[in-house]
Structure 1
Amino acid sequence: MDTQPPRGGLLTHDVVVMQQITSFLANDFDILDTDGAVIGRFSGQDSVGKRFFTGPREFTLFDSDGTPLLDVHDVPNFGFDTFELTAPGGAPVATVKKKLSFIRRVIDVTAGDGTRLELRGGFWDFNYEILGGGSPVAQVSRQWAGMAHGFFGRSRYAVSLSPALGPHHRLMILGTVVALDLIRMKDERNSSS
């Protein structure tokens, strides 16, 4: 008897692995199930010239069948990084914003309906929890990507999602993980220049 659950769309999985597949002037991710099968992809939508001058700014999350599920926009601003997460038609899903704090780095995640997520732990080294209403709804942990991937600065994260989460919150969490990776990448680029 087959005990494996049937493969479904990206949003039916409670554990996904986000594997960075490019690193120079891009930040694309394959999203894998626990067996290593590709079930989705975050893909940059900027032109090569735009990425060269401003870095990656526009991403789309695609399901395994190519259906767009979420857009991530790096909003031009002065000061604190802000990312808008929207449905493919443009409806707001969430805003991810880096906040001012003298003691530690703070990220504010606010859903389009006004609900907020809290990040707890070392989200700059990608071992953290995401809480909704004070209860854990997701956990993110960095994984060893292998020598070749590590040498080229590629990241790999396991994202464990609460089975009770609906599709909207799953999209919001996956978009937040990518936005945090982009913020970390910008911070590293700015500190080295």
Structure 2
Amino acid sequence: MQQITAFMANDFELLSADGSVIGRLAGTDSDGSRFLAGPRKFELREPDGTPLLIIDDVPDFGLDTFELRTPDGGYAATLTKQLTFFRNRVSIKAADGSTLDLEGEIFDYTFEIVDQGAVVATISREWAGISRSLLGHSRYVVSFDPTVATDRRLLILGAVVALDLIRMKQRRA
């Protein structure tokens, strides 16, 4: 996942291992809304524009909460930042009632996503280059267990974007 915009947006390209674009994530808020509250609504799309997942930073007081929805508006999952004393914790509650756990240094972007005790993905932040870093752009490597189903992969990608937004809010605060 490679961030392609940073000012009042948080748009990403999803790249395959060989560098080809396999998806795009773009904000769908109006410019005025982004200026006042920052980016809050996103769509993950295939390169041809087919929608795959909607990510919504719902208004809340205290804990950051994101709703992940299917393209037809159906509920897919809720990602919530948990309040803990000594470490950051984020949970993803899927529509089927299962929970994905994020383990590791979540806000340093070196962590694993665990589903029922099995590691289903590893995420790490990667150097984006001097010019991209100066512009505030980020790059993440997301490695999936090959047996992970497509719907779970979409939830994991949505979680990575939501975590980037939470981190951005913390920097601004």
- Fold similarity call, TM over 0.5: yes
Q: Number of paired residues?
A: 173
Greater relative CO (CA pairs within 8 A, separation 6+): 1
The residue type paired with residue 175 of structure 1 is G
Give the equivalent residue in structure 2 for 1:72. 55
Instruction: Supply the distance in 1 between the matched residues of 2:37 and 2:128 (Cα, whole angstroms).
Output: 27
Alignment of 1:168 onto 2:154: no
Alignment of 1:146 onto 2:129: yes
Runs of 4+ in 1 over 4 A off after TM superposition: none
Alignment of 1:108 onto 2:91: yes
Q: CA RMSD in A?
A: 0.6
Q: Which runs of 5+ in 2 are unaligned?
A: none
Shift of 1:123: 1.2
Alignment of 1:31 onto 2:47: no
Corresponding residue to 2:141 among 158, 176, 179: 158
1:140-186 deviations in Å (ceiling 9; x for gaps): 01111000001111100000011111111011000000000000001
Corresponding residue to 1:122 among 102, 105, 108: 105
Identity value in percent: 53
Give the equivalent residue in structure 2 for 1:13. none
Corresponding residue to 1:44 among 11, 14, 27: 27
2:13–2:25 contact (8 Å) kept in structure 1: yes
Shift of 1:188: 0.7
Give the equivalent residue in structure 2 for 1:179. 162
Give the equivalent residue in structure 2 for 1:92. 75
Give the equivalent residue in structure 2 for 1:9. none
- Tell me, what secondary structure is at the counterpart of 1:185? helix
Shift of 1:29: 0.3
The residue type paired with residue 118 of structure 1 is D
Q: Which runs of 5+ in 1 are unaligned?
A: 1-17
The residue type paired with residue 129 of structure 2 is G
The residue type paired with residue 66 of structure 1 is G
- The TM-score normalised by the length of structure 1 is 0.88
Instruction: Supply the distance in 2 between the matched residues of 1:153 and 1:127 (Cα, whole angstroms).
Output: 18
- Tell me, what secondary structure is at the counterpart of 2:169? helix
- Tell me, what secondary structure is at the counterpart of 1:124? helix
Shift of 1:84: 0.1
